[in-house]
Chain A
Amino acid sequence: MTPTHHPAEDFLVAYAAGTLPEASSLIVATHMALCPDCRAEVRRLEALGGALLADMPEAPVADDLLASIFAQLESPQPKVGPIGGDGGLGVAVARRPAKASARTVIPEPLRGYLGCDLDGVRWSKVIRGVDEVSVPCGPAGGGAGPKVRLMRIRAGTAMPRHTHGGSELTLVLSGGFSDETGHFLRGDFVATDGSVDHQPVADDDADCICLAVTDAPLRLTGPLGRLINPFVSF
């Protein structure tokens, strides 16, 4: 089964071009691991990048650049840091070791960022029925950038009704949830912003595990939510 809700075209263009920030790239690439259609689309967009590069005007480079390159090639090779998988083009420098089996739930590249599969996650409780773990992402592992979190909503649990100060990107990794806009299952990608006031409810049959990237805190809008908002940093 492949996902039915995909990132908008701008996300895929920015991802292929390399202009999408790391946190958004992480959720887009993890969706791609579950979505052959979006992988094919990004391959086409990368081919477009290659064609645009081929059409670039030529700018002169320093006379000694080639010599510096040969000098570097002849010096011992420094150890390279892990920068994820190779996306199928074989261009990444190295791949981090990632334990995986046929039962692995969390795909790369997310699994590498988490450092473990779902069974190794150490959850912290947010509110009753909702747990989270933050995913280190970005230059200094977070900082002022967007928040990247794995969320677990217990089967049948309704999240507090909320809206968003900024944008929220959600990717379902296990189970499913519904809100006013639809029903979402493994691999589905949902983008919401301040115009959406919603109350996601996890499916009854299993816990719902989602990756969430938010660039501003959620604002709880239900009567109970308004009460607990000051205490809960979603």
Chain B
Amino acid sequence: MDRKPTDQVEVDRLNALLLRVARQDRQAFVALFHHFAPRLKSFLQKMGADAGAAEEIIQDVMVSVWRRAESFDPTLATASTWIFAIARNRRIDRLRQERRPEVDPDDPALVPDPEDPADRALLLEEESERLHRAIRLLPPEQADLLRMAYFEDKAHSAIATERNLPLGTVKSRLRLALARLRKVLGEEQ
């Protein structure tokens, strides 16, 4: 397995770049662009966008990154997760022309989280390190289905047809993959 010992260093580097973008640092923004734009492009193309649409969405995403970097909080998400969520939402907006219903964390009707652990940032760092490792250690057939479920806008039944697998197998492999990852992350409570 090509486990890279530098995962954590990379997560820290990208978080630091995004925090600099929050202070209007153009150099950091260019570095983030060079890192994420090519990955976003293959992500968006896998999700069904053609090259032109993918680049329009990347432009949208990077503009949002610049304008909203201030709201990035490394104790809640890594830079990569934060940018993934923006890309996901921009794609829904652009390609499906739908809204993305989301929880409002400041809503008085929200049932609040149990007390946050004080060392949440540290926990998140450790989690993301373990998560990267766990994904690389998944059996290939589980990793394959996980990527399809995430990156291809397809129902499980369509995945089953494409992979020539019974629907039950697709569901159970996905469930296994998620169970493994969850074990690695540990339940939060």
Q: A65 contacts B58, CB within 8 Å?
A: yes
Task: Please count how many residues in chain B sit with their CB below 8 Å of the partner chain's CB atoms.
Answer: 83
Task: Please count how many residues in chain A sit with their CB below 8 Å of the partner chain's CB atoms.
Answer: 76
Q: A54 contacts B63, CB within 8 Å?
A: no
The 0/1 profile, CB within 8 Å of A marked 1, for residues 38-78 of chain B is 11111101100000000100110011101110011100111
Shortest C-beta distance, A213 to chain B (Å), equals: 12
Q: B98 contacts A61, CB within 8 Å?
A: no
The 0/1 profile, CB within 8 Å of B marked 1, for residues 7-22 of chain A is 0011001100111011
How distant is the Cα of A6 from the Cα of B93 in the complex, in angstroms? 27
Q: A52 contacts B104, CB within 8 Å?
A: no
A27-35, A151-159, A192-200, A226-234 - interface stretch: A27-35
Q: B131 in the interface, Cβ–Cβ < 8 Å?
A: yes
Task: Answer whether A33 and B89 are a contact pair too, CB < 8 Å, given A19-B153, A53-B39, A72-B63.
Answer: no
Task: Point out the residue from A9, A61, A139 that lies within 8 Å of B41, measured CB to CB.
Answer: A61
Q: B59 contacts A69, CB within 8 Å?
A: yes
Closest to B175 in A: A9
Q: A100 contacts B107, CB within 8 Å?
A: yes
The 0/1 profile, CB within 8 Å of A marked 1, for residues 82-121 of chain B is 1111111101110011111111111111111110000000
Q: A55 in the interface, Cβ–Cβ < 8 Å?
A: yes
Q: B149 in the interface, Cβ–Cβ < 8 Å?
A: yes
Q: A47 contacts B77, CB within 8 Å?
A: yes
Q: A46 in the interface, Cβ–Cβ < 8 Å?
A: yes
Q: A36 contacts B100, CB within 8 Å?
A: no
Task: Point out the residue from A22, A46, A61, A139 that lies within 8 Å of B55, measured CB to CB.
Answer: A61
Q: A88 contacts B105, CB within 8 Å?
A: yes
Q: A17 contacts B63, CB within 8 Å?
A: no
A contact residues vs B (CB 8 Å cutoff) = 2, 9-10, 13-14, 17-19, 21-22, 25-26, 29-30, 32-37, 39-40, 43-44, 46-62, 65-66, 68-69, 72-73, 77, 83-93, 95, 98, 100-102, 104-111, 113, 138-139, 187
B contact residues vs A (CB 8 Å cutoff) = 10, 30, 33, 37-43, 45-46, 55, 58-59, 62-64, 66-68, 71-73, 76-78, 80-89, 91-93, 96-114, 127-128, 131-132, 135-136, 146-147, 149-154, 156, 171, 174-175, 178, 181-182, 185, 188-189
Other A-B pairs beyond A29-B101, A87-B105, A88-B76, 12, CB < 8 Å: A9-B174, A18-B88, A22-B99, A36-B114, A50-B85, A54-B10, A55-B136, A66-B37, A84-B102, A87-B85, A100-B107, A108-B103
**18 A-B contacts, Cβ less than 8 Å apart?**
A13-B149, A13-B174, A18-B92, A22-B96, A46-B81, A48-B146, A50-B81, A51-B81, A52-B146, A58-B38, A59-B38, A66-B30, A84-B101, A89-B77, A91-B64, A104-B108, A107-B107, A110-B101
